[in-house]
Amino acid sequence: MRTRNLFLSFSIFGVSNRSPESLLFFYPHLSLSPLRPSPAVQPSRLIFIQIISMESQSPPIYRLPQDTLHMIFINLPLRQIIVCRSVSKLFHTLLTSPSFLDLIHHHLSPLSLLALRPPHHHHHRHHRTHTQKPNSNPPPSPSLHAFDPLGNEWLRFDLTFLPFKSFSPVTSSLGHLYLWGESDSPESCSKSLVVCNPLTRSFRVLPQLGSAWSKHGSVLSGSGDRVLVLTELATLYFNGGCGSGSKSWLKFSSNLPSKPRSPILVGDSLYALCDVGSPWRSLWKLFTCKLPGFQTNSSSLGWSRLERSEWGDVFDILKRPRLVKGVGNKILMVGGLKSSFSLNAVCSTILLLRLDLDTFEWDEAGRMPLDMYKCFQESSKFKVFGSGDKVCFSAKRVGKLALWDSSPQAVAMAEGEWRWIEGAPGFGDGLFRGFIFDARLNAMP
């Protein structure tokens, strides 16, 4: 009789202190490192499950009531729930049932990850064309690379289930991943915006758009299946949660003085920075507008400048400012802190300012340590991405990412709010772009 031993480290009973190798799980659609057990927990508190071959009787855990199994699994971290789905058919059926997914929605926090976007010239491709010569080193499988700040490791989500010749991840919201996908049909070279959940390998193609939108548009997504594509001249708006507007995009003129920079969506409002200065000197201002209803007759979004006299020169002290969505009803403005107001002033560090949209007051959220900023000092520009209490920074030739993390878990760690992220997959120049991906099992495209 063949048997294999499987150790499930249920958090309600404790975690084994056995070697990481004994806790190595395999899940075919998610690349996971060995689970790192805590050495402080006694091995006697481990649940040991012996899965026996088909000819033998079922393990005792299989005879537990469904409600009991639900209570056991709901106390596992999300990553271990994903792993357990591949253990057996019973576990897969149990952990993909509507009742368990509803339980997850109310009791389990998503896995907050820092996902990377490929550069503009590097899109994932599925197949080699007939005119290409065979390559002894084929490209890696299409995937999404993401960093887990709590686990301090890189994960890889398999995306080969998407039926597209090439695709590029652009943003995420509430467990949904949005990508530009290029059709595999030789008659069509257009790109479609696709929403998927790589954990459940489900996807949906949104209504067709022209190719110019994928080249020049910034994609935003929010609650209620709302998606926006912004360019300098116009904005497309899709609301999949609205029955009357679920089949088409609404188009609005932008009426902005310049291209919207780092647009973000907070609740029902859009925010973006625009340069209203001269060709030789930038002058950044904050603009905002409300999302329209699908019954509107307006052809314009109605952007307006958001300013207060008490703000003073808050937009003048930062070089190349960018917006990042903050926690709750707050937004972050990130940029290089100028040493003076002169035209070619050097920067002394990278500063994070926070605007409370309830009180319209600014405060300092964070400041990059000087020893960390030295690595960015020689770069002409850097990239910023993140959301909530996490903001990531990258620059050419740095070779690693800088992370500002003000979450309670990060602040409690020895490193504090600032730390380096090593081992990022190479995309060329090291100028990484990305977004926050809150992985969820119950997100249905």
The DSSP H or E segment spanning 193 is strand 191-197
Determine the Cα–Cα distance for residues 62 and 94; give it in Å rounded to an integer.
11
Which tokens sit at 236?
A: 């497309």
CB atoms inside a 10 Å sphere around CB 99: 10
**Per-residue confidence (pLDDT) for residue 37, from 0 to 100:** 37
> CA torsion angle for 307, 310, 315, 321 (degrees, to 10)?
-80
Give the pLDDT of residue 53.
40
Residue at 328 is within a domain: no
> Is 386 inside any structural domain?
no
Distance CA 25, CA 33 (A): 8
Task: Count structural domains, the chain.
Answer: 2
**pLDDT value, residue 123:** 53
CB 83 within 8 A of CB 411: no
Spatial distance between the Cα atoms of 147 and 35, rounded to a whole number of angstroms:
15
Q: What is the pLDDT of residue 369?
A: 95
Return the pLDDT at 127.
47
Q: What is the pLDDT of residue 287?
A: 96
The closest alpha carbon to 79, from 28, 12, 30, belongs to 30
Mean pLDDT of successive 10-residue stretches along the chain, which has 445 residues: 39 32 34 38 37 54 88 87 85 89 84 86 50 52 89 91 88 94 70 91 89 85 87 86 66 88 93 89 92 68 91 91 95 93 85 96 95 87 92 90 88 77 77 92 86
pLDDT of residue 435: 96
Is residue 43, in this structure, part of any structural domain at all?
yes
The DSSP-derived string for 282-296 is --EEEEEEEPPPTT-
pLDDT tens for residues 11-42? 333 333 333 322 333 333 444 433 333 334 33
Q: What is the dihedral of CA 117, 122, 123, 129, to 10 degrees?
A: -160
The domain boundary, picked from 65, 92, 107, lies at 107
Quote the tokens at residue 186.
């030789």
The neighbouring-strand residues paired with 387 are: 390
CA dist 302 and 295 (Å) reads 16
d(CA 239, CA 173): 14
pTM of the model: 0.80
Structure confidence at residue 197 (pLDDT): 94
**Residue 180 near residue 163, CB atoms below 8 Å:** no
Residue 277 lies in a domain: yes
Which residue in 312, 256, 317, 313 sits closest to 287, CA to CA? Answer: 256
* DSSP 8-state code for residue 70: H
Q: Would the CA dihedral through 250, 119, 267, 311 be positive or negative?
A: negative
Domain that holds residue 261: 222-307
Domain termination residue (choose one: 107, 125, 150):
107
- What angle (nearest 5°) sits at the alpha carbon of residue 93, between those of residues 88 and 97? 150
Amino acid identity for residue 249 in this structure: W
Residue 81 is assigned to a structural domain of this protein: yes
Instruction: Report residue 262 as tokens.
Output: 């780092």
**Rounded distance between C-alpha atoms, residue 178 and residue 187, angstroms:** 24
Show which of 55, 77, 107 is a domain's final residue. Answer: 107
Beta bridge partners of 271: 264, 288
CA-closest candidate to residue 432, choices 379, 389, 388: 379
Q: Is residue 229 part of a domain?
A: yes
Contacts (Cβ under 8 Å, ≥6 apart) of 279: none
Query: Would you say the C-alpha torsion 296, 443, 121, 133 has a positive or negative sign?
Result: negative
**If DSSP codes are grouped into helix, strand and coil, which group holds residue 156?**
strand
**Residue 296 pLDDT:** 62
Distance CA 189, CA 48 (A): 53
In a domain, 71, yes or no: yes
Q: What are the angstrom distances between the C-alpha of 253 and each of 260, 290, 295, 411? A: 13, 14, 17, 43
CA distance 72 to 309: 56
Q: Does 281 reside within a domain?
A: yes
| Residue 17 and residue 41 in contact, taking contact as beta carbons nearer than 8 Å | yes
